[in-house]
Amino acid sequence: MDDETSDPLPDYWLSYIYKTLVGISVLSVSVDDPEGLVRMYSHCTNVKRSNYTAGSITVYGMNLGDTFKTISFPQYGGDVTLHVYVLQPQESLKSQAVTLNGRYLKLNEDFTLPNVLIPVIRTGNVTFPPQSFGFIVLPNSKAEACQTAK
């Protein structure tokens, strides 16, 4: 927590979104990034803490590079629906403030959490900005491994 404003710091927001979206079942993911600057992971979506249904997949990771990187899902076709949540430091990687999909995150005036899980909806692929961390939910993937709610 920030000592002056009592606002949560970036690691809090990252943990909060992770706990809400990422379930316990781990899935295989591969990334074609010879530079090794894109790190991606995949789990079944946490259906108990989120509003997503069984069968949904959450892919999350970071772009450590200085250029935009495109993440695609060829196994689902070009019109796959993607719910995107991208966290970016407001100024630099050492910033004490973070944005989610371009919106600055802070507590409400009554010290409650704002509704942060408002996705940007895309189809086909997602472009991750430089030095960002993001979550991509495939709500209609109907992944067999994720059909049992956990």
pLDDT tens per residue across span 65-110: 999 999 998 888 788 999 999 999 876 556 678 889 989 888 888 8
pLDDT tens per residue across span 44-70: 999 999 999 999 999 999 999 999 999
For tokens 């909806």, name the residue: 121
User: At residue 61, what are phi and psi to the nearest 5 degrees?
Assistant: 170, -170
pLDDT at 149: 62
Average pLDDT, stretch 16-30?
94
Q: CA nearest 41: which of 55, 56, 62?
A: 62
Please compute Rg for the chain using Cα positions.
16
Domains assigned to the chain: 10-146 (2.60.40.1180)
